[in-house]
């Protein structure tokens, strides 16, 4: 017995579930194709047709459609169908096309994910589950200020890896970058297209080549796949002028000279301040030394006075000793006579 699938662009994954002693025989499909991808804008309608042809003795037992998030484990049932019944949908936007296809009207960003349909088939002895997956990406245009892409040239010097750029393009102003994330392109005056990688929270930044800035008209443009019907976001232009670049270079040079002057002035002030501090410190050291010498002189004078006083005391003592000695000698002489 052979399972026949009418839609050549769709690919089924086949799971064989034995239902009795005799296994269901089937011819496996050819090479498995990639998941069918659908890229839609918000508000458009999705249609995933799928017609399944069965043998006379085979019956469709049930059909179930499920949505699964590609980023998380979230999933929810979209609809189901039993023979003889109408489609039981959990969302009023969901419809039925073919005998196993699905439609979703007015898609939104929250519908991005995988839509899976499982068809359960039954013959007299076995059951077969056929699965098909469609991957849906609902594109969201970038949200920019005033709903229009802006492009400005900033002549403020911008340091790059190769030098200073004197003209920087700023493309934006984004509140969010859309789904999928937008990657703007810059079209140069000579017709080349260059992708922009550097960005901050709100804008993409493209410094022009410091080695030889090309003047003329530049265009920042967004890929059409990011825009849907929003043509105002498509592109914008700005002119880079040679005089502005030359003026910017001169201003930058003057700024550098002013910075060097201020740096030299500050260095000189710091040197003079340090020299004065050292002079004050030396002066204080000399004053302390003079004060020490003065104090030492006073101490020496005091010691000299004390020495003179001690000398006088010793001389007095000496005279007393001599007087007592002479008196003693005289007394001894009188006693002998």
> With bands split at pLDDT 50, 70 and 90, how would you rate the model's confidence at 337?
low
User: Contact 42/138 with Cβ under 8 angstroms?
Assistant: yes
User: Contact 122/58 with Cβ under 8 angstroms?
Assistant: yes
What phi, psi does 6 have (nearest 5°)?
Answer: -80, -35
CATH number of the domain that 63 lies in? 2.60.40.10
Q: Is the pLDDT at 124 greater than 50, yes or no?
A: yes
Q: What is the mean pLDDT of residues 163-178?
A: 84
> With bands split at pLDDT 50, 70 and 90, how would you rate the model's confidence at 15?
very low
* pLDDT value of residue 137: 92
Give the lowest-confidence range in 86-95, 136-145, 237-246, 322-331: 237-246
Q: Is the pLDDT at 71 greater than 90, yes or no?
A: no
* pLDDT value of residue 78: 93
Q: Is the pLDDT at 135 greater than 90, yes or no?
A: yes
Secondary structure letter of residue 251 according to DSSP? H
Domain boundary among 225, 240, 255: 240
> With bands split at pLDDT 50, 70 and 90, how would you rate the model's confidence at 321?
confident
Q: Is residue 78 part of a domain?
A: yes
3-state SS, residue 137? strand
Q: For residues 175 and 102, state if they share a domain.
A: no
Number of domains in the chain: 2
Q: Is residue 259 part of a domain?
A: no
Looking only at the bridges linking them, the beta strands covering 101-104 and 203-207 are: unpaired
* pLDDT value of residue 212: 64
Q: For residues 160 and 228, state if they share a domain.
A: yes
> With bands split at pLDDT 50, 70 and 90, how would you rate the model's confidence at 6?
very low
The token pair that represents 217 in the structure block = 């008209």
Q: Is the pLDDT at 149 greater than 80, yes or no?
A: yes
- Structure confidence by residue, pLDDT tens digits, 16-40: 333 332 223 333 333 334 578 998 9
Quote the percentage of the chain above a pLDDT of 70. 85
Domain boundary among 139, 162, 189: 139
Selected residue with higher pLDDT from 3 and 313? 313
* pLDDT value of residue 27: 36
* pLDDT value of residue 32: 36
Q: For residues 36 and 70, state if they share a domain.
A: yes
Q: What is the mean pLDDT of residues 287-303?
A: 90
* pLDDT value of residue 283: 92
Looking only at the bridges linking them, the beta strands covering 52-53 and 158-160 are: unpaired
Q: Is the pLDDT at 116 greater than 80, yes or no?
A: yes
Average pLDDT of every residue of the chain: 80
Q: What is the mean pLDDT of residues 44-48?
A: 92
Instruction: Spell out the residues 6+ positions from residue 22 whose beta carbon is closer than 8 angstroms to its own.
Output: 125, 126
- Structure confidence by residue, pLDDT tens digits, 95-110: 988 878 899 999 998 9
Q: For residues 37 and 132, state if they share a domain.
A: yes
Q: Is residue 72 part of a domain?
A: yes
Domain boundary among 207, 240, 273: 240
d(CA 99, CA 11): 16
- Structure confidence by residue, pLDDT tens digits, 207-250: 887 766 678 899 998 877 667 765 556 777 887 877 777 776 77
* pLDDT value of residue 79: 92
- Structure confidence by residue, pLDDT tens digits, 260-283: 889 999 999 999 999 999 999 999
d(CA 181, CA 183): 7
Q: Is the pLDDT at 305 greater than 50, yes or no?
A: yes
Q: For residues 170 and 116, state if they share a domain.
A: no
Selected residue with higher pLDDT from 267 and 256? 267
Q: For residues 84 and 107, state if they share a domain.
A: yes
Q: Is the pLDDT at 174 greater than 80, yes or no?
A: yes
Domain extent at residue 98: 4-139
Q: For residues 186 and 113, state if they share a domain.
A: no
User: Contact 71/179 with Cβ under 8 angstroms?
Assistant: no
Q: For residues 48 and 72, state if they share a domain.
A: yes
* pLDDT value of residue 20: 31
User: Contact 69/61 with Cβ under 8 angstroms?
Assistant: no
CATH number of the domain that 216 lies in? 2.60.40
Q: Report how far apart, in Å, the C-alpha atoms of 200 and of each of 151, 174, 175, 196, 322 are.
A: 15, 10, 11, 12, 111
Looking only at the bridges linking them, the beta strands covering 126-139 and 36-41 are: parallel
């Amino acid at each position: 017995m052979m399972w026949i699938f009418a839609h050549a662009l769709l690919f089924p994954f086949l799971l064989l579930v034995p239902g009795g002693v005799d296994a269901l025989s089937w011819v496996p499909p050819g090479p498995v194709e990639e998941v069918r991808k659908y890229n839609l804008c918000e508000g458009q309608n999705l249609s995933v047709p799928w017609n399944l042809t069965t043998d006379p003795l085979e019956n469709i037992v049930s059909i179930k459609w499920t949505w699964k998030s590609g980023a998380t484990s979230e999933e929810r049932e979209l609809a189901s169908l039993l023979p003889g019944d109408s489609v039981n949908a959990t969302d009023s936007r969901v419809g039925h096309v073919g005998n196993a296809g699905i439609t979703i009207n007015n898609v939104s960003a929250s519908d991005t994910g995988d839509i899976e349909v499982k068809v359960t088939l039954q013959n007299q002895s076995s059951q077969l589950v056929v699965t098909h997956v469609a991957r849906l990406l609902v594109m969201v245009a970038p949200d920019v200020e005033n709903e229009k892409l802006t492009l400005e040239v900033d002549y403020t010097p911008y340091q790059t890896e190769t030098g200073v750029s004197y003209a920087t393009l700023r493309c934006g102003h984004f509140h969010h970058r859309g789904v999928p994330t937008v990657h703007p392109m810059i079209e140069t005056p000579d017709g080349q297209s260059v992708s922009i990688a550097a960005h901050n929270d709100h804008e993409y930044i493209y410094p022009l080549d410091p080695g030889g800035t090309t003047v003329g008209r530049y265009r920042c443009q967004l890929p059409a796949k990011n825009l849907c019907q929003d043509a105002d976001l498509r592109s914008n232009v700005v002119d880079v002028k040679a005089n502005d670049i030359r003026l910017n270079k001169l201003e930058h040079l003057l700024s550098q000279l002013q910075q060097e002057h201020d740096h030299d002035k500050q260095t000189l002030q710091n040197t003079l301040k340090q020299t004065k501090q050292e002079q004050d410190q030396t002066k204080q050291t000399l004053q302390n030394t003079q004060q020490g010498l003065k104090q030492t002189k006073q101490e020496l004078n005091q010691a000299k006075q004390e020495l003179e006083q001690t000398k006088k005391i010793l001389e007095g003592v000496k005279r007393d000793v001599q007087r007592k000695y002479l008196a003693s000698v005289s007394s001894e002489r009188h006693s002998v006579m």
